[in-house]
């Protein structure tokens, strides 16, 4: 390689500045879910997920059967809301901008595919604080 090409290459490289990469923000520690049925979903006890229904109220019980129905639905299903008082499952689509979360009964549950950290920016701090990983 010629010395003029080396000097030209060094001049180009030295004209760029490298910015520091910020350190990763430590993620919160989420407990394992007390129900422990091993679904791989983030679980939120006592929360209702409203909106983006893929189905009407599907009669299933227990809640883990609702999660299994979402898994069988495929990539169009991002989660479920299980209404424990009537043993009904509501499969939810993949459009979180259409979702809203409200406090439900203690036995109700919302489950979203993936871990709690994945959904923390969508569910809000109060709901996120109650999330448990079901792995």
CA–CA separation, 89 and 58 (whole Å): 5
CA distance 129 to 91: 23
Residue 59 pairs in a beta bridge with 88
Token pair recorded at residue 132: 């448990």
- 125 belongs to a structural domain: yes
Structural domain including 86 reads 33-134
CA distance 113 to 111: 7
Q: Does pTM surpass 0.85?
A: no
Average pLDDT for residues 70-90, to the nearest whole number? 93
CATH number for 95: 3.50.4.10
Domain total in the chain: 1
What percent of the chain is helix, strand and coil (3-state, nearest 5)?
A: 30, 25, 45
* Mean pLDDT in residue range 38-59: 89
Which of the two residues, 131 and 88, has the higher pLDDT score?
A: 88
């Amino acid at each position: 390689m010629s010395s003029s090409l080396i000097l030209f290459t060094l001049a180009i490289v030295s004209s760029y500045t490298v910015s520091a990469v910020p350190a990763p923000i430590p993620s919160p520690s989420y407990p394992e879910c007390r129900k422990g049925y091993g679904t791989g979903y983030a679980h939120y006890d006592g929360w209702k997920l409203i909106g983006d229904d893929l189905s009407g109220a599907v009669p299933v019980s227990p809640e883990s059967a609702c999660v299994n129905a979402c898994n069988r639905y495929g990539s169009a299903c991002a989660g479920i809301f299980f209404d424990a008082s009537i043993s009904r499952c509501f499969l939810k689509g993949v459009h979180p901008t259409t979702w809203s979360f409200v406090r439900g009964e203690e036995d109700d549950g919302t489950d979203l595919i993936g871990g709690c950290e994945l959904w923390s920016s969508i569910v809000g701090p109060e709901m996120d604080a109650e999330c448990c990983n079901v792995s």
